[in-house]
Amino acid sequence: MPEFKVVVNDCTAPPHIGLTHVYIGTGANRTHDYEYDRLVAGLPRILTPRQQDWADVLGALFAIDLACKRGDDADWQRNIEAWIPVRDVSLWKGLAQQVARVFSGLTYDPFRVTFVESSGMSAPPRTSRRPFPDVDTVALLSGGVDSFVGAVALLEAGMRPLFVSHKNSPSASDAIGAVTEALRARGAPANPVTLTARKRGRETGRENSQRTRSLLYVGLACLVADGLGLSEVWINENGVMAVHAPLTVARAGSFSTRTANPRVMREIERLASDALGRPIAVNNRLVAMTKPEVAELADRLGVASTLPRTVSCWQIGRSPEHCGRCVPCIMRRISHEYASVPDCTYATNPLDDVPSGESWATVANDNLFHMLMQAVEIDGAADESDLMLEYPEVLNSGRGLSVAQSVDMHKRWATQCLTVARSHPYSLSILEGRRP
């Protein structure tokens, strides 16, 4: 297991050989760009030291995640110890265990953190002469199908959300622009406010898994909500991907993401509330729905025509086209076909064919086979206890999703997935045992 000892912004730390130094902010020696000025520019008051500590800790945790390169196979998991500077060290010493639990919950990496008092912290960002419009909640907007449909559902429910986005690639920026246009047509009060968070320098020096990105985004949304005197934040993700039961035992642990996992979201909610000093709820409007049901909801809400301009692919930051063979692409293709709604174009179509000579064949076969076998197992589970024994992750329900609802949702997804898979030649051959 790779071990890292990380010091943020040269704060005081015990002497160790092989320290990793991370510098965030605006200095010339910074290793990570982290700008949240636009997120807070429209707040009625500049950030308090407590609020700014929260923002800076979030940026430090994300930078630490990016700075610690994972290995391969058995070396995928990391052991990380970190030192982070703060203004109010007494508060953050009391939160250290919570921070470590949330970081480990998202990354599956053992993590220890020591907070160090520092007098050299940056001044708070300025506020703008143009305040944010009249809003009553805050929601994340990624440019993906779920966050877009969830945003429309919030508007339809009479809410006035302020949207928070992170434009980390040209394709994501285009998608956010497209969904913003559709949301404005539905009465959204403002364009999304954006943040920047990335490692500087060569791509080879960056850890691409970025398991802590949802802590950064949700945490900063909580900061904006706190600054506006609001009490809730929305991260909208279909329930199957939110719970994210691993497709196989080999994909368990840090090989599986927990971007919107209900129990991890509750931990982030508690941490944000304790760090900011007031209760803020983190909700998911789509947590009881499968991906096909989200696509059907888009059709009922009259926004299906915008779906082809959204992004879902794991590789969308490195390629303008959906690959078609990663798990999100396969799930999206199945979901849109099941719901009979418009879809994007894909570079490959593993449901119909995976040519053996192609470089991407192994990845496509693995992802498709594992998804279909999981669907078969869930569909064939004799009862609730049988399913929970095989996939204990379905117990990760949390607020808004009971265990019974989670079980029923996964059973519905299995039926929807297999219905579409049986209508395509290659995926049908897998289900009939004619492919390895």
**pLDDT one digit per residue (tens) for the chain, 436 residues:** 889 999 999 898 888 888 999 999 767 788 888 888 989 999 999 999 999 999 999 999 999 999 999 887 767 889 999 999 999 999 999 999 999 999 998 998 999 999 999 877 888 888 877 899 999 999 999 999 999 999 999 999 999 999 999 877 778 889 999 999 999 999 999 889 988 888 877 555 567 777 888 999 999 999 999 999 999 999 999 999 999 888 865 544 444 567 788 888 999 999 999 999 999 999 999 999 999 999 999 999 999 999 999 999 988 767 789 999 999 999 999 999 999 999 999 999 999 999 988 999 999 999 999 999 999 999 998 777 878 778 877 876 677 788 889 999 999 999 999 999 999 999 999 999 876 6
| pLDDT of res. 26 | 67
Q: Distance between CA atoms of 283 and 239, rounded to whole angstroms?
A: 12
Which residue, 178, 268, 271, 168, is CA-closest to 218?
268
Q: Distance between CA atoms of 299 and 320, rounded to whole angstroms?
A: 25
Q: Distance between CA atoms of 4 and 83, rounded to whole angstroms?
A: 11
Under DSSP, is residue 165 helix (H, G, I), strand (E, B) or coil? strand
Q: Does domain 137-194+204-283 have CATH number 2.60.120.620?
A: no
- Listing DSSP states for 88-142 in one string gives -HHHHHHHHHHHHHHHHHHH---EEEEEEE-S-PPPPPPPPSS---S-SEEEE--
Cα dihedral sign, 10-71-208-390: negative
Q: Distance between CA atoms of 156 and 244, rounded to whole angstroms?
A: 27
| pLDDT of res. 257 | 63
Q: What are the residue ranges of CATH 3.40.50.620 in the chain? A: 137-194+204-283
Which residue, 394, 151, 416, is CA-closest to 292?
416
Give me the half-sphere count of Cα atoms (radius 13 Å) on the Cβ side of residue 310.
29
pTM: 0.92
